[in-house]
Amino acid sequence: MNVISPETLQKLVELQAHYKNSINLIELKEYLQQAPFGLAEDKINTYIDKVEQSIKLRSQIIQLVKNYLQNSGAESAGVDALHGAYFGSHPPQPLKTVEMHEILIELSSPLTGYLGRIKSSNWNRDRFYFLRDLPIN
């Protein structure tokens, strides 16, 4: 059995309220099922930090697409060009081209709607364009 303080529960609720569907309950359950049991503050705070880092990374990628398109004057950009621009922007973590593509696909999903996507027959020829920002607090 794990015990959660009201403050930690509040942080989880606020994160979910501000960034819809950011909390993955199955993943959170895995964090809580790890030993030691009892006070779960450290486990939940570790999970919250991981989610916040993921949101910051996605926000940075959205800004990267926006800035790349503004600076280049293009209407859309390919995965390879965005991947190159990502590494030129002092990234918080290294990403492979495939990982970058997966995040771009996620951000262009109709459920999120931060980027648009022009799908190609080959994944690395997909093109993306900016729709809206992902604000970070």
For 33-88, write each residue's pLDDT tens digit.
Answer: 887 776 788 888 999 999 999 999 999 999 999 999 999 999 999 999 999 999 88
* Average pLDDT for the chain: 90
84 close to 47: Cβ distance less than 8 angstroms: no
Tell me what pLDDT residue 1 has: 58
Find the distance separating the first CA and the last CA of the chain, reported in whole Å.
Answer: 33
What is the mean predicted confidence (pLDDT) over 3-13? 87
Is pLDDT at 3 greater than 80 in this prediction? no
Residue-range domains of the chain with CATH = 2-130 (1.10.10)
Tell me what pLDDT residue 65 has: 97
Tell me the whole-structure pTM to 2 decimals.
Answer: 0.87
High-pLDDT (> 70) share of the chain, %: 96
For 85-105, write each residue's pLDDT tens digit.
Answer: 998 888 888 999 999 999 999
Tell me what pLDDT residue 77 has: 96
Tell me what pLDDT residue 90 has: 83
* Both tokens assigned to 8: 């930690």
| 61 or 3, greater pLDDT | 61
Is pLDDT at 25 greater than 80 in this prediction? yes
